[in-house]
């Protein structure tokens, strides 16, 4: 029983990382209708920004968070202007966006390998070592911080989308971009804001990931999992991304814990494929087309 509860805690903590990443994916997807595969690389840059803010600049960790979030928001916006805007202006199909995103991702990853180097780096210790114990169940301090920070970010995002004018504009644009433009919504501004928010979430996710594990150029690779979580929950839906991420984290942990690690990805992907066949829009998805 203690083992089962411990595995649940493990699963939820992995799920909460996937969630922060998956929400960034879903947000961009809901507006642009393509999967921004460069999101993973922005997360990786966020981890490095946080790391260097703490080690080189000596910032306290909450300031490092803000610095990384601002930095990646800027990077995401610049990326949109340089890589995606020219495509939008030419009304390119979504396939070109995906290929451009992959290209940008490979470029950024290799740029970091070439300049900073491939050796993993360790964040300076922020929290006291040793877990908080509840009977036999150990809860890591960093995991607890992750739960809290992820929850705050996601709550702030949901409030922003549901209760502000800009949030309403984002919803309208995601519903129909052409009609929104006709109604006088500045959709270019909406896209700008969406990339900035997605980038800031990526930065926070990157710093959290780096603190929990290590900082290395291939961090972006893990976002494949958060993409699966986003599809599973329903691409374009924020609560869906959150739910999908937590479910995926739990499934992975329980499979590794009770069957074997070799079966983990096998079963995770099996669930994804089954989901796509039975309910293509995901748990909470808005439409069933273009899951790419």
Partner 1 sequence: MRAFMCMLLVVAVALSGCTGAAKVDTIKIGWFGPQTGDTALWGQAEFNTVQMIVDEYNAKGGLKVGSKTYKLDVVGYDDKGDSTEAVNVAKRLTSQDKVVAIVGAQGSGEAIPVAPIMNEAKIPLVASTATNPKVTVTESGAVNAYMFRACFTDPYQGAVAATYAYNKLGKRKAAIFMTVDDAYSAGLSEFFKKSFTKLGGKIVAEVSFTAGEKDFRAPLTKIKASNPDVIFSPNYYTDVSLSAKQARELGITSVMLGGDGWPSENLISLAGTALEGCFFVNHLDFSDPSVADFKNAYKAKFKKNAELNSYMVRDALAMVIDAIQRAGTIDSVAIMKALETTDIQGITGHIKIGPTHDPVGKDAAIIKIVGTEMVFQEKIQAQP
On the 0-12 / 13-18 / 19+ scale of CB atoms within 10 A, 114 is exposed
Q: Binding partner 1 by CB under 8 A: which of 60, 86, 103, 221?
A: 221
Q: Binding partner 1 by CB under 8 A: which of 68, 185, 222, 242?
A: 222
Task: Return the number of other C-beta atoms located less than 10 Å from residue 242's C-beta.
Answer: 26
| DSSP state at residue 80 | I
**Structure token digits, residue 85:** 């805007």
Closer by beta carbon to partner 1, 99 or else 116: 116
226 binds partner 1 (CB under 8 A): no
256 binds partner 1 (CB under 8 A): yes
135 binds partner 1 (CB under 8 A): no
Whether residue 15 contacts residue 208, with contact meaning beta carbons closer than 8 Å, is answered with no
Whether residue 3 contacts residue 223, with contact meaning beta carbons closer than 8 Å, is answered with no
> Which are the contacts of 157, defined by CB distance < 8 A and separation ≥ 6?
23, 27, 197, 201, 238
Cβ at position 202, least distance to partner 1 in Å: 17
Closer by beta carbon to partner 1, 86 or else 118: 118
Backbone φ and ψ of 213, nearest 5°: -110, -105
Q: Binding partner 1 by CB under 8 A: which of 90, 93, 165, 262?
A: 262
For helices 39-55 and 94-115, give the axis angle rounded to 10 degrees: 30
Cβ at position 262, least distance to partner 1 in Å: 6
Rounded Cα gap, residues 97 and 86, in angstroms: 10
Closer by beta carbon to partner 1, 80 or else 252: 252
Closer by beta carbon to partner 1, 148 or else 159: 148
125 binds partner 1 (CB under 8 A): yes
Q: Which of residues 235-254 bind partner 1 (CB under 8 A)?
A: 252-254
CA torsion through residues 25, 31, 36, 40, sign: negative
**Structure token digits, residue 155:** 């709550």
92 three-state secondary structure: coil
| DSSP state at residue 164 | S
Q: Binding partner 1 by CB under 8 A: which of 120, 156, 176, 224?
A: 120
Cβ at position 260, least distance to partner 1 in Å: 7
Choices 24-32, 70-78, 113-121, 171-179 (CB under 8 A): range interacting with partner 1: 113-121
Closer by beta carbon to partner 1, 86 or else 124: 124
223 binds partner 1 (CB under 8 A): no
Residues contributing to the site for partner 1 (CB under 8 A): 2-3, 6-7, 10-11, 13-14, 113, 117-120, 122, 125, 129-131, 133, 138, 140, 213-214, 218, 221-222, 252-254, 256-257, 260-262, 264-265
């Amino acid at each position: 029983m203690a083992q089962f509860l411990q595995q649940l805690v493990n699963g939820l903590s992995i799920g909460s990382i996937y969630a922060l990443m998956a929400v960034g994916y879903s947000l961009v997807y809901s507006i642009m209708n393509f999967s921004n595969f460069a999101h993973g690389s922005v997360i990786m840059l966020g981890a490095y920004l946080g790391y260097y803010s703490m080690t080189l600049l000596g910032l306290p960790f909450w300031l490092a968070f803000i610095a990384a979030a601002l930095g990646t928001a800027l990077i995401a916006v610049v990326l949109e202007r340089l890589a995606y805007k020219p495509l939008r202006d030419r009304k390119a199909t979504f396939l070109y966006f995906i290929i451009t995103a992959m290209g940008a991702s490979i470029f950024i990853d290799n740029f970091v390998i070439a300049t900073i180097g491939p050796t993993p780096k360790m964040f300076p210790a922020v929290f006291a070592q040793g877990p908080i114990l509840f009977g036999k169940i150990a809860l890591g301090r960093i995991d607890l911080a992750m739960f809290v920070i992820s929850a705050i970010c996601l709550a702030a995002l949901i409030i922003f989308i549901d209760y502000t004018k800009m949030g309403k504009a984002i919803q309208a644009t995601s519903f129909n971009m052409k009609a929104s433009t006709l109604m006088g919504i500045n959709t270019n501004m909406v896209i700008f804001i969406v990339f900035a928010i997605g980038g800031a979430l990526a930065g926070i996710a990157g710093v959290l990931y780096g603190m929990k594990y290590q900082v290395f150029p291939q961090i972006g690779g893990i976002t494949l999992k958060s993409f699966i979580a986003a599809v599973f929950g329903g691409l374009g839906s924020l609560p869906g991304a959150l739910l999908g991420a937590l479910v995926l984290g739990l499934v992975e942990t329980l499979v590794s814990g009770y069957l074997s690690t070799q079966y983990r990805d096998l079963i995770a992907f099996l669930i994804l494929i089954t989901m796509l066949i039975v309910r293509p829009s995901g748990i909470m998805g808005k439409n069933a087309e273009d899951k790419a």
